[in-house]
Homo-oligomer: A and B are copies of this chain.
Amino acid sequence: MENFNINKDGFYGDFGGAFIPEMLQPNIDELQKNYLKITESTDFKKEFNKLLTDYVGRPTPLYFAKRLSNKYKTKIYLKREDLCHTGAHKINNTIGQIILAKKLGKKRIIAETGAGQHGVATATVCALMGIECVVYMGEIDISRQAPNVARMKMLGAKVRSATSGSRTLKDATNEAIRDWIANPIDTHYIIGSVVGPHPYPDMVARFQSVIGYETKKQLLEMEQTDKPTHVIACVGGGSNAAGLFYPFLNDLDVEIVCVEAAGKGVNSGESAATSILGTEGIIHGSKTLLMQTQDGQITEPYSISAGLDYPGIGPMHANLFKSNRGKFISIDDDDAMKWGLMLSQIEGIIPAIETSHAFAVLEKMDFNRDDIIIFNCSGRGDKDLDTYINYFKL
C-alpha cells in the first residue's frame, strides 16, 4: 500500500528533502537528528499538551454547523481552530517549536510571516518563554497588515522589514534563512507552515496533527464513527490542512480536499493555485510544486488572502496532488469573500479569508445527506476586517 507519510529520507514520494546551503547543514542536521527523539519524549509531550490545553485553549470544539448543514443537505462540522489563542491554528506549531528550541538550548527565535498570523503566534510563544524574537516580514506586508505588526510589537518582538525581491512572504522567508545562516548556534528558526527543508514539513505536520486527532475523537462521540467522509482545508503552505489530514492520510475511505486560492482566476496571471500553475522544483530548501518561470525563477503569487499567497505548497501536498490522493480545488477572491460573508451570517463565525476559501467548495462539489464533512476553520477573520469592509463596502 502507498504511504502518504514521510519516508525515512525526508521525502513524500518525489517531494521534500533538504536542499540547503552548507551553512545551514549543522542546524538542519541537529533538527533531523533530534526532532523525533525530543518530540516523542514523555517530557516534551507533557509540556506540549499542557500548554495546548491551558494556554492555547485546546481541544478546540468540533462544531456541528446546523444551519449550514440544512442548507447544503449534508452533515457539516467545523473544527474550530479560529478559537485558538491568537486566532488561528498557527500557534499549535509555534508552541511545539518553542519547547523544542528550549530543549536544544536556543536563546533566540526567528520567524518569517506573511499575513502576520504566524509572526504573532511566534512572538506570543517567545513572550511566554521570555526568549528574544525577531520576525521577518515583507515591506509591503508590513504596511498592509498593520494590526498584526502592532500585535507583534506589543508582544515584544522585533519586526524586521524584508526589502528584497517582491518584499512579501517569500522574501521574508529568504531573510529569515539568511539570519539563521548568520546565527547558527544560538538561534532557532520557527517556520510557519509545512514547508522548508526536512524535517520542517514533517515536524510542523506532527505539531498540527492535534487538529486531526482531536477531530477523530470528537467525531466518535458525536457520530459514533471516527471516520468522516471528507476532510477539507485551505492550503497556503499547507499546515492547517496537514494537521487535519494527518490521521487520515492512509485511510482511503476519507476523501482529502485541498483548497487553493485562485486569486483573480487561475488564468488571470494573478493567482496562487500552485497545483495547477506550479511545476516541480525547489523552494526554501524543499522539492515540491511551485510557481516559477520556465527558467526556474520563482514567481510572485497573488491572492486576496495574505496567508495563501505563497508560491509553493508543502511537499506532503505536492505528493497528495501528484498521486491523486487529494482532490485540489481552486477558489477565486470573489467566491472566497462571498463565503466569508455567508459563514458569518449563517453561523455567526467570521472566518479568516484563508479559511473562507475552504467553504466555497460547498458549491463546487456534490455531497450526500449522510456524508460527514469536516472543514478546518483555520482562523478567525478579525485580521481581515479591513479587507471585508472595503470589499463589501460595509
Which residue numbers of A lie inside 8 Å of B, CB to CB? 53-55, 57, 60-64, 67, 80, 82-85, 87, 123-128, 130, 146-147, 150-151, 153-156, 340-341, 344-350, 381-382, 385, 388-389, 392, 394
Contact = CB atoms under 8 A, between A and B. Distances in A.
A350 B155 contact: yes
A350 B151 contact: yes
Given A55-B61, A57-B61, A154-B340, 14 more contacts: A53-B61, A55-B348, A57-B60, A83-B83, A125-B348, A127-B344, A127-B347, A147-B382, A153-B394, A154-B345, A154-B350, A154-B388, A156-B344, A382-B382
Contact of A57 (B67, B80, B344, B389): B80
| Copy total for this chain | 2
A344 B154 contact: yes
A298 B299 CA distance: 62
**Secondary structure class of chain A's binding surface, majority of residues:** helix
A388 B156 CA distance: 13
Nearest to A80: B57
20 contacts: A53-B61, A54-B62, A54-B63, A54-B64, A55-B61, A57-B80, A82-B85, A124-B348, A124-B349, A125-B348, A127-B347, A147-B385, A150-B385, A150-B389, A150-B394, A151-B385, A154-B345, A154-B385, A155-B350, A156-B345
Contacts of A348: 55, 123-128, 155
Contacts of A83: 57, 83-85
Contacts of A84: 83
A154 B64 contact: no
Contacts of A53: 61
A223 B80 CA distance: 29
Contact of A61 (B54, B346, B385): B54
A15 to B, nearest CB: 34
A151 to B, nearest CB: 6
A85 B83 CA distance: 6
A146 B389 CA distance: 10
A164 to B, nearest CB: 25
B346 A127 contact: yes
A257 to B, nearest CB: 23
A204 to B, nearest CB: 20
Nearest to A390: B150
A127 B389 CA distance: 18
Contacts of A347: 127-128
Nearest to A155: B344
Contacts of A389: 146, 150
A201 B82 CA distance: 31
